Chains A and B, each alone.
Chain A
Amino acid sequence: MTLTESLREKISRAFYNHGLLCASYPIPIILFTGFCILACCYPLLKLPLPGTGPVEFTTPVKDYSPPPVDSNHEQGEPAEQPEWYVGAPVAYVQQIFVKSSVFPWHKNLLAVDVFRSPLSRAFQLVEEIRNHVLRDSSGTRSLEELCLQVTNLLPGLRKLRNLLPEHGCLLLSPGNFWQNDWERFHADPDIIGTIHQHEPKTLQTSATLKDLLFGVPGKYSGVSLYTRKRMVSYTITLVFQRYHAKFLGSLRARLMLLHPSPNCSLRAESLVHVHFKEEIGVAELIPLVTTYIILFAYIYFSTRKIDMVKSKWGLALAAVVTVLSSLLMSVGLCTLFGLTPTLNGGEIFPYLVVVIGLENVLVLTKSVVSTPVDLEVKLRIAQGLSSESWSIMKNMATELGIILIGYFTLVPAIQEFCLFAVVGLVSDFFLQMLFFTTVLSIDIRRMELADLNKRLPPEACLSSAKPGGQPTRYERQPAVRPSTPHTVTLQPSSFRNLRLPKRLRVVYFLARTRLAQRLIMAGTIVWIGILVYTDPAGLRTYLAAQVTEQSPLGEGALAPLPVPSGMLPASHLDPAFSIFPPDAPKLPENQTLPGEPPERGGPAEVVHDSPVPMVTWGPEDEELWRKLSFRHWPTLFSYYNITLAKRYISLLPVIPVTLRLNPREALEGRHPQDGRSAWPPPGSVPAGHWEAGPKGPVGVQAHGDVTLYKVVALGLAAGVVLVLLLLCLYCVLCPRNYGQPGGGPGRRRRGELPCDDYGYSPPETEIVPLVLRGHLMVWDAIEGVLCCSSEEVSSGITALVFLDKRIVAVRLNGSLDFFSLETHTALSPLQFRGTSGRGSSPASPMYSSSDTVTCHLTHTVPCAHQKPITALKAAAGRLVTGSQDHTLRVFRLEDSCCLFTLQGHSGAITTVYIDQTMVLPSGGQDGAICLWDVLTGSRVSHMFAHRGDVTSLTCTTSCVISIWDRSTGIKFYSIQQDLGCGASLGVISDNLLVTGGQGCVSFWDLNYGNLLQTVYLGKNSEAQPARQILVLDNAAIVCNFSSELSLVYVPSVLEKLD
């Protein structure tokens, strides 16, 4: 026990010293901490960025053999070989890249001819590849033996069943669109329609079927009516199960021989292995997003509790920065000491934050804030730190212990998590102590400075007693205003400066302009428009047809390079196959077309124009697959239920194939409808018609812009939805601010409604202060004479308390003004209660006129609370304020010194009560009632008795009566601490009046403007007499005499009040 005590003492002392240090040298300490953070985060630079993109590794083709399965490769190599490069790949992908063009271009050709005949060659190529057989000394090998045999497609892909190969080699080519059937292709009138029939209408991010079959990105394929290059490229994708160098070599040699690419510079000497990380699907994303939402809710609810500081947002930010940078530091430190994180950082991050928590930060803030305000900043920080030191250390020890237990579960993942958590906890502690404490001290100091700037010169506190010198010495002191008796003119309510909170104004603005609805409507219209436009059967094809008819895009033509038609030599390997299949149709209906296409493009007929669609092979063609979506290969394999996650595939160097077709071939392959639809008779074509086609590029551009519009519209819609969501969330989470305008009329009127004029009129007294937009006027209630007024402060007064000779006014901005009334008759509290008649009698020596009352400002407490003050009571030389910031403050009436800050409520304070016995009960929106000792500032008791707001409470020597939640009306709780007590009276001023005695409870609900009910609780006359007399604010007096209860009640006043 003594050990604990001494330990506690030591810790407390150490924290005290530390707090002094932090508050003394804030800037150097913050700089030092920042340096520490950066230093610890430095190792993070070496870590790879998290992501799911594929990783590549390149090996030369020569002497390639699949890496061994066992991962124990030599020590010298690991720098070169990545960890995943182990074992055989899932598949070897061989792409045969076909570039083809009709050459030379003739003006009689159609746009469709650009791709129809090149595509038709794909069927022959596929056939050729399928039939390729390697014969060598070891026997014959065919493609079927080596290729990746696939089985069924996944059951969900029934509609792709005819398009993707099943039960056989995985060999993809554009011919798959027509089931590899040349006849079918030839009979297809609308090639583009067939190709695009499976394109998704929405924004496409992953590989589409067209990409899969063409093997090149969509815009490179050239299969479009609007291409200017007139070159079609596609790939035939072969997937091999095993690597057989000879077979591949022979295939390559044969294809290159059959279709040579003269100016090909592809080196084809490297093999690229692509490793795919685990895909994060929607299914995995949803829990992740959920954890993050929970995390943000946690941070929100935590930082909401930061109160009583200069900049709440600044401190909340500092708290979050503390936690985040401590996590970064922990990762950095772990990396520094050789521990590489294997866990998915994004997944465990929320849990780490939750484990580390923001609690310490909040506890620190609370404890520092609740230290006496009048102390020096250094001392406040030090005191706050030292008072919470023990609990902080205890919590930390507990958490470390728990994590240590977790470490001994001996599960690698948990161990790693625990390691990170331990380092994170320690670095978090470090940052809290150095960074956050310092920020807090700066904040507190700023608040102090702000206080000091507004504070009056110190002489003001002393001189309130001197009646003589005031008018000359203090400019702020109000002049005694000559009054107009009995006439009070208030400004019309429309001119009143209603100080609505900003958020409320935003909401009003939104509601007034219906901004959200309009945005949604506009977004919807744009969206629908885009959908209509991109609909394949809709507007776009119509437009496209129009464009095609008008300008068949023939503005480009070729340089007169003669096509070597003898370029296709009879292959000595497989001479049976020829480029021109024997069963090719012999120009079915095209002969009927007017205008016989010429055999060769003569110089006269060829339009010289750029670009020249030379089939060129550049280095960019070597790795065109890089331009594919990185999900291309995973998508392809996933169709066959093969996952590439955490595995790799090897991409063999592409085999270039160049196909040159002369116009005759192009015409041969033409479908009858091609010409019919878009081929005008040549006689009617004006000469300048080719040039009349600037619409072509425009069309292309518009086509490309559709994606942009989609993105914009999506973004817009998402933004709108987000804003709405946030609004709803805000509405739900901050009910009391939103409910303010209409909700609960008069519920929290005293504190929140911008009530400019608040009447306070004990009917029997003579001096009535009245507040008008920040003016304080003191009236003589009997004669209606304005005694004095004070008008120098702009902010409205929300509450007044009038005690002795002092008036304390609470202003909207949370400041407290202490006024002192100078009359020459001592107004005693007794006089206030109406026992004495005229209070103000003899004239003063200074002011010779009668009844001179002056009121002057003695003190101002600028920032008494961060939020509006909702409750105000004064008694026994103390002033108690309760605020929405969950705290109470006790001030001394004489010099406005803040004695205590009482924390303990978890909701806004709604009511307080104080009397001469220095017992201070307070009730809050959390339904709790706290009982405080004003002398020591400690909490005597804490009761959760109510389900709703405690709206009013009053106190006797032994009882506390509280009333909760006015709107439910009937409910009424009375907590009796001492059963044998006598009378008690519950009072609520605005709309409800409850008087409770020993024998009866009378209850008035003035929501309806009249007396609602009076409840007698039986045994009324025999009950013990109430011992107290209480005067209520609203002109009702309850007198509880020893043997009878008499209630003096003035209904007219009450009705006027409502």
Chain B
Amino acid sequence: MAEGETESPGPKKCGPYISSVTSQSVNLMIRGVVLFFIGVFLALVLNLLQIQRNVTLFPPDVIASIFSSAWWVPPCCGTASAVIGLLYPCIDRHLGEPHKFKREWSSVMRCVAVFVGINHASAKVDFDNNIQLSLTLAALSIGLWWTFDRSRSGFGLGVGIAFLATVVTQLLVYNGVYQYTSPDFLYVRSWLPCIFFAGGITMGNIGRQLAMANMQRLLLMGLSFLKCSPFVK
């Protein structure tokens, strides 16, 4: 008897729209895009840090172009971070050990801050010699992993990423795409693997958190808000 009179509020008619737009691939795509942009942003910012200290040298005519670095660097970093950020939760799922350690956005933010700090240290702090610098950064990176990740898969993936990225960088520098001002590890700086490792861990952390936070919810919220809000007719 009571149910008959209880009228549902207006927006309730939007139900069918919602269920049609959700799927796994959409979720994946959104996450990928978000990760891509995070990667691009971090690449730009960290590149600025490096350029201030003349760590990397890009060809001079490229410098005049936008964003004071070669155009291909941010997209590459973005793509790499998207791949890493999607890979981490995927591997977690396949290994069957869901990542439970410190799953909060505040922890992720802390991780990102520490990552930027590591970059900052690599660019700005004056070290006596390169070995000291590399060891310090390596310790910091391991500390980052221990503080925010502590999963074996994360460590393994991070090491793999660091190795792969260093090889790629070596190849790039060998082919003269760009160069380092004072290479001490073949053609690049010896702290590069540490940075890559820390970056991998960080992006993995973000990716895991994104995978956990329901991206669908965001999308749904936006769509249904558009469709059902009374003032958008």
Contact = CB atoms under 8 A, between A and B. Distances in A.
B167 interface: no
B98 interface: yes
A735 B219 CA distance: 10
Contact of A413 (B8, B13, B126): B126
A287 B68 CA distance: 14
A565 to B, nearest CB: 55
Contact of A411 (B11, B41, B105, B128): B128
Given A294-B109, A947-B214, A739 B224 contact: yes
B65 interface: no
B112 to A, nearest CB: 5
Interface in B21-45: 22, 41, 44-45
A948 B11 contact: no
Interface stretch (B47-55, B151-159, B169-177, B193-201): B47-55
Given A354-B110, A742-B11, A294 B136 contact: no
Contacts of B44: 286
A42 interface: no
A831 interface: no
Nearest to B136: A409
A704 interface: no
A741 interface: yes
Contacts of B64: 156
Nearest to B211: A947
B227 to A, nearest CB: 7
A991 B8 CA distance: 12
Contacts of A991: 15
A887 to B, nearest CB: 16
A745 B106 contact: no
B220 to A, nearest CB: 6
A493 interface: yes
Contacts of A758: 6
A760 B2 contact: yes
B12 interface: yes
Given A742-B11, A753-B9, A1007-B15, A290 B45 contact: yes
A738 interface: yes
Given A301-B104, A732-B218, A967-B22, A295 B12 contact: no
Interface in B84-101: 98, 100
A742 B227 contact: yes
Q: Size class of A's contact patch?
A: 35 or more
Contact of B1 (A301, A781, A967): A781
Interface string B190-233: 00000000000000000000001010111011001111111100
Nearest to B46: A287
B45 A286 contact: yes
Contacts of A511: 229, 231
A967 B2 contact: no
B80 interface: no
A759 B3 contact: yes
Contacts of A411: 125-128, 132, 136
Contacts of B112: 294
A493 B117 contact: no
Contact of B5 (A283, A738, A741, A757): A757
A745 B15 contact: yes
Contacts of A745: 8-9, 11-15, 224, 228
A488 B2 contact: yes
A395 to B, nearest CB: 11
A1007 B225 contact: no
Contacts of A291: 113, 116-117, 120
Contacts of B225: 738-739, 741-743
A301 B108 CA distance: 9
Contacts, number: 193
A1038 B161 CA distance: 54
A304 B109 CA distance: 13
Given A283-B52, A744-B221, A294 B113 contact: yes
B184 to A, nearest CB: 17
B104 A305 contact: yes
A969 interface: yes
Contact of B110 (A286, A298, A744): A298
B159 to A, nearest CB: 21
A759 B2 contact: yes
Contact of B49 (A287, A298, A736, A906): A287
Interface string A961-974: 00001011100000
B109 A1053 contact: no
Contact of A347 (B13, B120, B128, B136): B120
Given A287-B45, A742-B229, A493 B7 contact: yes
A297 B111 CA distance: 12
B1 A906 contact: no
A402 B147 CA distance: 11
Contacts of A735: 217-218, 221
A962 to B, nearest CB: 15
Nearest to A758: B6
Contacts of B103: 906
Contacts of B45: 286-287, 290
A12 to B, nearest CB: 24
A1056 B106 contact: no
Given A283-B52, A743-B220, A1007 B106 contact: no
Given A302-B106, A735-B221, A1007 B229 contact: no
Interface string A826-849: 000000000000000000000000
B168 interface: no
A287 B216 contact: no
Given A402-B143, A947-B214, A409 B132 contact: yes
A841 B26 CA distance: 60
Contacts of A405: 139
Contact of B8 (A347, A350, A1058): A1058
A781 B106 CA distance: 51
Interface in B137-156: 139, 143
A508 interface: yes
Contacts of A350: 113
B106 A742 contact: no
A742 B14 contact: yes
A218 interface: no
Interface string A336-362: 000000000001001100100110000
Contacts of A761: 1-3
A283 B48 contact: yes
A417 B108 CA distance: 23
A315 interface: no
A64 B113 CA distance: 50
A1039 to B, nearest CB: 23
A511 B229 CA distance: 10
Nearest to A493: B7
B224 A742 contact: yes
A926 B214 CA distance: 9
A741 B139 CA distance: 49
Interface in A902-927: 906, 926-927
Interface in A760-777: 760-761, 768, 770
A978 interface: no
B29 to A, nearest CB: 16
B114 interface: yes
Given A405-B139, A742-B227, A744-B221, A1008 B15 contact: yes
A437 to B, nearest CB: 21
Given A947-B214, A1057-B3, 9 more contacts: A295-B113, A354-B113, A402-B143, A511-B229, A738-B225, A739-B217, A969-B19, A1008-B16, A1056-B4
Interface of B: 1-9, 11-16, 18-19, 22, 41, 44-46, 48-49, 51-52, 64, 68, 98, 100, 103-106, 108-110, 112-114, 116-117, 120-121, 124-128, 132, 135-136, 139, 143, 212, 214, 216-218, 220-221, 224-231
6 closest A-B pairs (Cβ-Cβ)?
A742-B228, A739-B221, A759-B2, A301-B106, A298-B109, A745-B12
6 contacts: A156-B64, A291-B117, A301-B105, A409-B135, A753-B9, A1008-B16
